[in-house]
Structure 1
Amino acid sequence: MGVPDADIHPTATGQAADTVAQHQSPQELVFWSGWFCPFNQRAWITLEERGIPYQYKEVNPYKKEKHFLDINPKGLVPAFEYKGKALYESLILCEFLEDAYPDHKPSLLSSDPFTRAHARIWIDFVTKSIIPAWQRLLMAQGVEKQDAAREELYTAQRKFAEQVKGPYFSGEEFTLVDVAVAPWITREYILAEHRGYKSADVSNEWKKYAETLATRPSVLKTNSDKDKLQPIYDRYLRDEAQSEAAKAIRAGRGLP
């Protein structure tokens, strides 16, 4: 049995709530957000990094507004409503902001074709290797399955860390590669508390990189209080979550 709806906090809290309060005025870009979702946080970090004006609207996952479903039939966050038209999928939204707001600096993708393509390779690695392994460890039941999932995650993170130039993935500049992985780094404490995860067991390079990302202002400004996240992750820890991501992991499919 899952966590009752009433146990899920309806809005952002902590530093994220302060950020929400600053983005209530109408704008040409409406950010339909779910404060609890790591995919959602990617788009939010990007908006904050680049100083793009947006209006924040929280989506209740159990009582989605008709207008939201009209513009976004998938009903998933994050989503943008831009000049009355809807877009969704977190990384697509991040790249859209690069194209739609070129004058807002810094850019998170290089204008150099090779560097841009190289970044996309490692963004794809995060999506296909790190996040599925992270989710499998979160949901794994029993010591044997947890040990295997933990080692899978360590291997993926270790491979990624070997590419980090420091302090960020590409060096001094924070880029979309960092955005792609940051929300799961801020949630590593869940794996540490419940699944025996230790960032130092990945590598010293990963540990240092993770600590750097976790303290980035745009990441901190989009984090809600840990105690409000716990009821959501408790469902995953019991392997009872019914999100699309959870269903995909159980079925052995790629993330939606």
Structure 2
Amino acid sequence: MGIPDEHIHPVATGVAAETVAKHWDPQEIVFYSGWFCPFVQRTWIALEERGIPYQYVEVNPYKKEPHFLEINPKGLVPAIEYKGRALYESIILCEFLEDAFPERKPNLLPADPSDRAYARMWIDYVTKNLVPASMRLVQAQDPEQQKEHLKELLEFQRAFAAQVKGPYFLGEEFSLVDITLVPWIVRDFVSAEHRGYRREDAGEAWKKYADNLVTRPSVINTSSELVHYYEIVHRYLKNESQSEMAKAVRAGRDIP
């Protein structure tokens, strides 16, 4: 999330810092992370949920050091180094963890192929609708545009909430559908404070679902103190961020 690196708090804080402290030792998986990034939080939650050993390495993606660029030529987090191979893209990494560690429980995708395809359909919905709508609202500068984007976001959230079986999207089991979305729910305080957003305006079903998601231990354990997120988001609120996500939203492109 692109602000000048001197303004980014260098490490995770709060509960997330306690999680990082447990993962300094070398492991088969090296997890390259930026504590502030919602895409990172997806993969981090998956690692924590499934109890997969990993070594946490904090990266400043705005200082693209040579070794990290060898891991991910795009220079973006998250990325994983595993058995000498470099892997990246948050959802791909979550699915990789399912495939590489099938014995680790819980699994985050259903075993049944049809159910798994259904989950992927809604992961795609989150990726193509809910996340871009959230960012369009945050980055919008014109008050009328903000109203339109707020209306759009609430409509997407209502449609999604209508499919939630409860307490999680697929029912009793927390899944990759929930993981794909929850980092933006963690950060919806930005729209609440600056764009007039309220969870309850998307309906009771959405509010109940969202409120429940943010209490999941793996979500709490990968979340830093809110004060440091403010240092990141102010450029988005001014639509001045030069992150790849912000640039894609401005250009009307798919978020990379």
For the residues of structure 1 that align with 2:106 and 2:254, how far apart are their CA atoms? Answer: 32
Percentage of pairs with the same residue: 64
Q: C-alpha offsets along residues 108-154 of structure 1, whole Å, 9 cap, x if unaligned?
A: 00110010000000000000000000000000012101000001100
Aligned to 2:76: 76
**SS of match in other structure, 1:63:** coil
**SS of match in other structure, 1:247:** helix
For the residues of structure 1 that align with 2:182 and 2:24, how far apart are their CA atoms? Answer: 25
Shift of residue 66, structure 1, vs aligned partner:
1.6
Aligned to 1:228: 228
For the residues of structure 1 that align with 2:64 and 2:74, how far apart are their CA atoms? Answer: 11
Shift of residue 230, structure 1, vs aligned partner:
0.4
Mapped pair 1:129 → 2:129: yes
**SS of match in other structure, 1:40:** helix
Equivalent residue runs for 1:20-169 within 5 Å: 20-169=20-169
Q: Which amino acid aligns with 1:78?
A: P
Please give the root-mean-square deviation of Cα atoms over the aligned residues, in Å: 1.0
Aligned to 1:247: 247
User: In 2 relative to 1, CA 79–3 (structure 1 residues): closer, same or farther, beyond 3 Å?
Assistant: closer
Aligned to 2:189: 189
Listed as ranges, the gaps of 5+ residues in structure 2 are: none
For the residues of structure 2 that align with 1:62 and 1:46, how far apart are their CA atoms? Answer: 25
User: In 2 relative to 1, CA 107–3 (structure 1 residues): closer, same or farther, beyond 3 Å?
Assistant: closer
Q: C-alpha offsets along residues 28-59 of structure 1, whole Å, 9 cap, x if unaligned?
A: 10000011110110000000000000000000
**SS of match in other structure, 2:63:** coil
User: In 2 relative to 1, CA 83–119 (structure 1 residues): closer, same or farther, beyond 3 Å?
Assistant: same
Q: Which amino acid aligns with 2:39?
A: F
For the residues of structure 2 that align with 1:16 and 1:244, how far apart are their CA atoms? Answer: 24
Instruction: Report the TM-score, using the length of structure 1 for normalisation.
Output: 0.98
Shift of residue 3, structure 1, vs aligned partner:
5.1
Contact 2:5/2:60 (<8 A) preserved: no
Shift of residue 228, structure 1, vs aligned partner:
0.5
Shift of residue 64, structure 1, vs aligned partner:
2.9
**SS of match in other structure, 1:23:** coil
Aligned to 1:170: 170
User: In 2 relative to 1, CA 4–175 (structure 1 residues): closer, same or farther, beyond 3 Å?
Assistant: closer
User: In 2 relative to 1, CA 88–131 (structure 1 residues): closer, same or farther, beyond 3 Å?
Assistant: same
For the residues of structure 2 that align with 1:216 and 1:197, how far apart are their CA atoms? Answer: 22
For the residues of structure 1 that align with 2:73 and 2:211, how far apart are their CA atoms? Answer: 37
For the residues of structure 1 that align with 2:161 and 2:175, how far apart are their CA atoms? Answer: 15
Aligned to 2:207: 207
For the residues of structure 1 that align with 2:3 and 2:83, how far apart are their CA atoms? Answer: 37
Shift of residue 5, structure 1, vs aligned partner:
2.8
Shift of residue 63, structure 1, vs aligned partner:
2.0
Shift of residue 8, structure 1, vs aligned partner:
1.1
Listed as ranges, the gaps of 5+ residues in structure 1 are: none
**SS of match in other structure, 2:157:** helix
Instruction: Report the TM-score, using the length of structure 2 for normalisation.
Output: 0.98
Q: Which amino acid aligns with 2:175?
A: T
For the residues of structure 2 that align with 1:169 and 1:250, how far apart are their CA atoms? Answer: 30
For the residues of structure 2 that align with 1:20 and 1:92, how far apart are their CA atoms? Answer: 22
For the residues of structure 2 that align with 1:212 and 1:150, how far apart are their CA atoms? Answer: 22
Shift of residue 4, structure 1, vs aligned partner:
4.3
Shift of residue 62, structure 1, vs aligned partner:
2.6
**SS of match in other structure, 1:46:** helix
User: In 2 relative to 1, CA 3–92 (structure 1 residues): closer, same or farther, beyond 3 Å?
Assistant: closer
Q: Which amino acid aligns with 1:129?
A: N
For the residues of structure 2 that align with 1:160 and 1:119, how far apart are their CA atoms? Answer: 12
